[in-house]
């Protein structure tokens, strides 16, 4: 056991190329997914916060529920979508990093939309009269609201990043855990643990844990900075 730990540290400190490749791919996939989900989810969440239409309450509940979408179910859905006979089959994306980015975007999007909706709705209550007075009513208020909610919204992006980086089921199903191509930290840990290669699993586990710690530290720092420098409570 002690040997496993020391081998794990050797891997990390020695910049083992396989090790670095896995960490790099994980970060690339997850960061791309969060960026994509933010690009879609921030405006969408803001629009949902401001729009009033029949069925809105139902949609809000649905999106909130999707925050807890089981990753394996998301994986299955995207698998069916991308499989050879599926609607997006001809693109040939299955078992590629692109497919993993797509499935993680599906997982992160509800988190970003739901948290953005909540944040923007609260902010709109406070800003409504003033922005309307300036002629920024309806969707024209969105850029102002998104910018002014920036501290809370960064927190929601970090929450999305946390969910995507820790998730294993979805990337396993659509990525296939192909060594050197679609093997991420989580899928590698699952595989190596069952194979008995504990040093690699442990090393990756430590990186993953540090990442989680870092995300939480960042979340804390962002809200502190927001409160201290902008009074953005």
Partner 1 sequence: MRTPPPSILPLAVSHLDYLGGGRVLLNDLSFEISGGRTVLIMGPNGAGKSLLLRLCHGLIAPSGGNVRWRQPDGIVAGHKRHAMVFQKPVMLRRSAGANIRHALSAAGFSAGTSAERTRLALKKFGLEALADQPARLLSGGEQQRLAIARAWALHPEVLFLDEPTSQLDPGTTLKIEEMLGALKEEGVTLVMTSHDLGQARRLADRVLFLNRGRLIEDAPAAVFFAGPACAEARAFLAGELLW
Say whether residue 231 binds partner 1 (CB under 8 A): yes
Residue partners of 219: CB distance under 8 A and separation at least 6? 155, 158, 159
From candidates 51, 87, 122, 130, binder to partner 1 by CB under 8 A:
130
Which listed range, 4-12, 15-23, 28-36, 126-134, lies at the site for partner 1 (CB under 8 A)? Answer: 126-134
Q: Which is nearer to partner 1, 53 or 147 (CB)?
A: 147
Say whether residue 126 binds partner 1 (CB under 8 A): yes
Q: Which is nearer to partner 1, 5 or 124 (CB)?
A: 124
- Cα torsion 213, 192, 20, 170 to 10°: value is -70
From candidates 132, 195, 216, 225, binder to partner 1 by CB under 8 A:
132
Q: Which is nearer to partner 1, 179 or 225 (CB)?
A: 225
Nearest alpha carbon to residue 116 among 159, 70, 57, 161: 159
Measured CA to CA, the distance from residue 155 to residue 178 in angstroms comes to: 32
CB of 132 to partner 1, least distance (A): 5
CB of 119 to partner 1, least distance (A): 12
Residue 96 carries which DSSP code?
S
Residue partners of 178: CB distance under 8 A and separation at least 6? 95
Q: How far apart are the first and last CA of the chain?
A: 47
Q: Which is nearer to partner 1, 95 or 151 (CB)?
A: 151
**Contact 160/116 with Cβ under 8 angstroms?**
no
CB of 141 to partner 1, least distance (A): 9
For the CA atoms of the chain, what is the radius of gyration?
A: 20
Using CB under 8 A as the binding rule, the residues of this chain from 133 to 152 that contact partner 1 are: 133-136, 144, 147-148, 150-151
Q: Could you list the residues that contact partner 1 (CB under 8 A)?
A: 126-127, 129-136, 144, 147-148, 150-151, 226, 229-232
């Amino acid at each position: 056991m002690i040997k496993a730990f020391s081998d794990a540290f050797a891997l990390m400190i020695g910049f083992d190329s396989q090790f670095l490749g896995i960490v790099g791919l994980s970060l690339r996939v997850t960061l791309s997914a969060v960026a994509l989900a933010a690009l879609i989810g921030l405006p969408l969440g803001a629009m949902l916060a401001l729009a009033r239409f029949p069925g809105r309450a139902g949609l809000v509940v649905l999106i909130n529920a999707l925050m807890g979408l089981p990753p394996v179910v998301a994986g299955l859905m995207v698998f069916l979508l991308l499989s050879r006979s599926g609607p997006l089959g001809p693109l040939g994306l299955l078992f590629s990093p692109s497919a993993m980015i797509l499935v993680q975007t599906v997982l992160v999007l509800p988190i970003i939309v739901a948290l953005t909706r909540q944040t923007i709705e609260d902010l709109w209550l406070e800003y409504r009269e003033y922005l309307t007075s300036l002629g920024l009513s309806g969707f024209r208020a969105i850029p102002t609201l998104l910018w002014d909610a920036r501290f809370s919204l960064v927190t929601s992006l970090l929450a999305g990043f946390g969910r995507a980086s820790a998730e294993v089921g979805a990337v396993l199903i659509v990525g296939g855990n192909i060594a050197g191509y679609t093997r991420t930290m989580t899928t590698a840990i699952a595989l190596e643990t069952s194979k008995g290669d504990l040093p690699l699993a442990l090393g990756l586990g430590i990186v993953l844990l540090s990442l989680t710690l870092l995300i939480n530290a960042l979340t804390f720092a962002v809200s502190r900075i927001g409160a201290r420098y902008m009074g953005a409570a």
